[in-house]
Amino acid sequence: MYSKRFEKETFKAEVRDNVKTLYRKTIDEATPQQIFQAVSYAVKEVIIDDWLASQKAYDEADAKTVYYMSMEFLMGRALGNNLINMTAYSEVKEALKEMNIDLNAIEDEEPDPALGNGGLGRLAACFLDSLSTLNYPAYGCGIRYRYGMFKQKIENGYQVEVPDNWLKEGNPFELRREEYAKEVRFGGNIRFEKDPETGKDIFIQENYESVLAIPYDMPIVGYGNHVVNTLRVWDAKAITDFQLDEFDRGNYHKAVEQENLAKLIVDVLYPNDNHYSGKELRLKQQYFFISASLQAMIAKYKKKHNDIRKLHEKVVIQMNDTHPTVAVPELMRLLIDEEGLNWEEAWEVMSKTCAYTNHTIMAEALEKWPIDLFSRLLPRIYQIVQEIDRRFLIQVREKYPGNEEKVKKMAILMDGQVRMANMAIISGFSVNGVAKLHTEILKNQELKDFYEMFPQKFNNKTNGITQRRFLAHGNPLLAGWITDRIGDGWLTDLSKIANLKPLVNDEQARREFMQIKHKNKVRLAEYIKKHNGIELDPRSIFDVQVKRLHEYKRQFLNILHIMYLYNQIKEHPEMSFYPRTFIFGAKAAAGYQRAKETIKLINSVADVVNNDRSINGKLKVVFIEDYRVSNAELLFAAADVSEQISTASKEASGTGNMKFMLNGAPTLGTMDGANVEIVQEVGEENAFIFGLSSQEVINYENQGGYNPLDIYFNDWELKRVIDQLMDGTYANGDHNMYKNLYNSLLNTQCTARPDMYFILKDFRPYAEAHKRVEEAYRDEQRWSKMAILNTACSGKFSSDRTIEEYVTDIWKLKKVYVPSGQ
Ligand code: 26Q
């Protein structure tokens, strides 16, 4: 047992006590939410002891620590996951059962902490789980958004965004740490002086606005090792009158302004995924949490160390995309202006501390801030960026004399903009992509010039996912079965899951594996019945595409193909057709018109198809409302087929693909992102691959695209489907409802390039791949082998493997072992 605290009677008493002190109630009187709170506080008590023990062990070891800086941490619910990692899930479940409480129902009381959009934020959460499990000292640093990712409602087929007030009932797992508050300053002007004693330059910021950053700590529990790391998210508070500068005291106007700034700054997560928008408030958020985090980091370092020139020996900063890269000039500022280093000394420390991860090659996602905005908001930071740029361009001109093209491409400051990626690459010691193909594209295309100049900085770190949440917690039936068959080593070493491979030839094992899949499909069908009112046949093929809605991810291709299948069934009722259930889940950024139109289209097709009695239930379409981490766990467990159909070269990695694979769903996808490596692991015969290669896509792009009309006029079945967008079939006779979508495919007037994402080009290969899926599924033996092999070959895709690679190649951390805090 993990801790005597989880001994049944002790734990039950603790829960009863908590209900009493928190709510003055007995268990029978308490609401499910109150019981959730009471249980969580009981769990937190145990965590705190290990948390203290971890910090003590780190202190004693004086261990190097990674600071994972990210605007997003898509954590998902904490209670169930903490219990899994404390290896106390079943004990607690039993204890609660004896009190007539269903742990699953209590877990459902917890709001999903959704402080992230999608892949990038969820990756950060998986990394924290792995860091703790692998005994590495780590902080996650981010923002405590008052409102996380919006809740999605579907009304009349349209997405409606509803604010996510996740803190409404209070977050039992967080600790407010007022005493570590830091001041962050914005705007004003910089006065320059010479220190009369040392002769050094001093930069004084005047007339600025400031806010107080207050940290909240959340525990990140490692699996079965008593390690508890910290996710530190910052809240903002106005500087009180009392703390104001002498100059500003009694300045009522300023006090109100600072109050407003504080409220606004942490108010809401920007719900854009893979899309940059140059909003001033976003830059304020970035600088706010970076400045606070770096100040806290330096203060902690200085408690034990007196030479700031050796900072890089004890800390390393990983920047999750460009969003936190203002860390580069901010660290320079702190080292120079606050710690008194000269430029060269500061550069040495900063450049050995900062590392950058690139998550996308999509041009519209690149962060470029207008210089006027940037310099007005962060005047001192801007001076430092200018100096970094100036010194860098000297280097470029030395290396490429007379080549002003290079300067134009590589400069940080160009065309009135600050290019954050360039700054990160130039300044840090490591640049990594998130899958093999992605890193190759970075080196050979997008970042070619930088790769030529700094080849040693570039490296690949193929993404991964945590098997603790996405198998142990999300799919307890399969997890239990795997442990029965091969032991529980896979929980902390997923390569062991390969020991399932021999079972593909064991008929009994195959039957059990498919029975578990069936039960998970029934569980999902119940969820869908409850939430959508749609009745599903769990014997049909569950074909699932869940991810953010984006044109490059091509949910549009999927739904066009469904429209095509529906036409086929209607036209050839006698045709043999294996029943199919197509399941979608996706949020669209609030201002993304085509994405929202796609959601409407999916829901309209669902309406028509699901209510057509003439097709005998052969085809069902479901749109899962409010796709998020908690219902994702159900979806991965229940999927037969994993749709990973991005336009090749566009999906940097994908991580949903790995979660499906782990749960035994073969990939139907393009050779994009980590799909390439998935196929490499599982074998091409155990996946359904189709479509243009990334090189083919890039070649077309270099020649200005292709002409989709050639396909449109030569494929009447596809033409019919596309025409149905405009003839009112799925719009109650409205001819305009999907005109933006239609135009995106064919109309040269409306888009830079028609069919930018090669939907028509890949349509037939996609339909043909679906045929192969159907054929394979009919052969039960073949399918069960494929399914098991997908699970058995997923070992590489644990975030534990990814983290070990970051540690070895970039972070250079040492493991610290923690005795139980009890
Ligand atoms: C930028 C500026 C202003 C507002 C928002 C943004 C912004 C926010 C989120 C830009 C991009 C994102 C998210 C990107 C993302 O999730 N990328 C995904 O990262 C995953 C983890 O590496 C990959 O698996 C996916 O392929 C990649 O799309």
pLDDT tens, residue by residue, 158-209: 999 999 999 999 999 999 999 999 999 999 999 999 988 888 889 999 999 9
* Span from the CA of 69 to the centroid of ligand 1 (angstroms): 14
Known catalytic membership, residue 352: no
Q: How far is CA 253 from the centre of its chain?
A: 40
* Closest atom of ligand 1 relative to the 118 alpha carbon: 16
Cα 790 to Cα 773: distance, rounded to the nearest angstrom: 15
pLDDT in tens, 98-126: 999 999 999 999 999 999 999 999 999 99
- Residue 572 is encoded by which pair of tokens? 């050839």
Is the pLDDT at 822 greater than 90? The verdict is no
Nearest CA to ligand 1 atom 4: 276
Pocket probe mutation, ligand 1, options 69, 145, 273, 437, max atoms within 8 Å of Cβ:
273
The whole-angstrom separation of Cα 551 and Cα 597 is 11
Write down the pLDDT at residue 255: 82
- CATH topology for 62-76+112-463+805-811 is Rossmann fold (3.40.50)
Domain-wise residue ranges, the chain: 1-61+77-111, 62-76+112-463+805-811, 467-693+762-795
Query: Which residues, in sequence order, are CB contacts of 557 under 8 Å at separation 6+?
Result: 645, 757, 759, 762, 763, 766
Q: Is 572 a catalytic residue?
A: no
pLDDT at 6 over 90: no
Question: 302 pLDDT band (50/70/90 cuts)?
Answer: very high
Asked if the model's pLDDT at residue 1 lies above 60, the reply is no
Mean pLDDT of the chain: 97
Q: What are phi and psi of 365, to 5 degrees?
A: -95, -10
Look at the domain 467-693+762-795 and name its fold. Rossmann fold (3.40.50)
pLDDT (0 to 100) of residue 245? 74
Cα–Cα distances (Å) from 4 to 8, 45, 221, 281, in that order, read 9, 12, 17, 48
Pairwise CA distance, residues 148 & 433, whole Å = 27
With 0-12 / 13-18 / 19 or more C-beta atoms within 10 angstroms meaning exposed / middle / buried, residue 159 is: buried
Q: Which of 359, 369, 465, 678 to mutate to test the pocket of ligand 1 (most atoms within 8 A of CB)?
A: 359
pLDDT tens digits along 357-408: 999 988 889 899 999 999 999 999 999 999 999 999 999 999 999 999 999 9
Spatial CB neighbours of 90, under 8 Å, sequence gap ≥ 6: none
Output the pLDDT for position 95.
97
275-299 pLDDT, tens digit per residue, is: 988 899 999 999 999 999 999 999 9
Reported as a single tens digit per residue, the pLDDT across 647-670 is: 999 999 999 999 999 999 999 999
CA 277 – ligand 1 centroid, Å: 12
pLDDT per position as a tens digit, 418-432: 999 999 999 999 999
Question: Has residue 355 got a pLDDT over 70?
Answer: yes
Question: Which atom of ligand 1 approaches the CA of 72 most closely?
Answer: 9
> Whole-angstrom Cα distance, residue 716 to residue 705?
22
pLDDT at 743 over 60: yes
Tell me which of 73, 117, 461, 629 to substitute to probe ligand 1's pocket, judged by most ligand atoms within 8 Å of the beta carbon.
Answer: 117
pLDDT of residue 441: 98
Ligand 1 centre to CA of 601 (Å) is: 25
Residue nearest to atom 19 of ligand 1 (CA): 120
Q: Is the C-beta atom of 672 inside 6 A of ligand 1?
A: no
* 693 Cβ contact partners less than 8 Å away, ≥ 6 residues apart: 648, 671
253 pLDDT exceeds 60? yes
Which of residues 783 and 4 earns the better pLDDT score?
783
Q: If you search the block for the tokens 């049909």, which residue do you land on?
A: 540
> From the candidates 655, 667, 670, 791, which is the catalytic residue?
655
Tens digits of per-residue pLDDT, 541-557?
999 999 999 999 999 99
Contact 582, 603 (CB under 8 A): no
Overall average pLDDT of the 544-573 stretch: 98
765-776 mean pLDDT: 98
248 vs 536, residue with greater confidence: 536
Q: One fold for both 62-76+112-463+805-811 and 467-693+762-795?
A: yes
First to last CA, the chain: 12
Alpha helix ranges (H) inside 72-161: 79-85, 89-98, 103-107, 119-133
Amino acid identity, position 76? G
Q: Is the pLDDT of residue 2 over 80?
A: no
Both structure tokens of 622? 């479901």
For residues 437 and 750, the model is more confident at 437
Quick one: CA dihedral 715, 721, 724, 726, positive or negative?
Answer: negative
For ligand 1, say whether the CB of 360 is within 6 Å of any of its atoms. Answer: yes
CA distance 805 to 439: 15
Residue 579 in this model has a pLDDT that exceeds 90: yes
> Looking at the predicted structure, is the pLDDT value of residue 446 above 80?
yes
Q: Whose C-alpha lies nearest to ligand 1, atom 1?
A: 276
pLDDT score, position 254: 81
Cα–Cα distance measured from residue 475 to residue 469, given in angstroms and rounded to the nearest whole number: 9
> Can you give the pLDDT at residue 242?
65
Rounded Cα–Cα distance for residues 202 and 383 (Å) = 13
365 lines ligand 1 (CB under 6 A): yes
pLDDT at 729 over 70: yes
Ligand 1 atom nearest the C-alpha of 365 is 10
Residue 548: active-site member:
yes
For residue 58, the surrounding DSSP H or E stretch is: helix 32-61
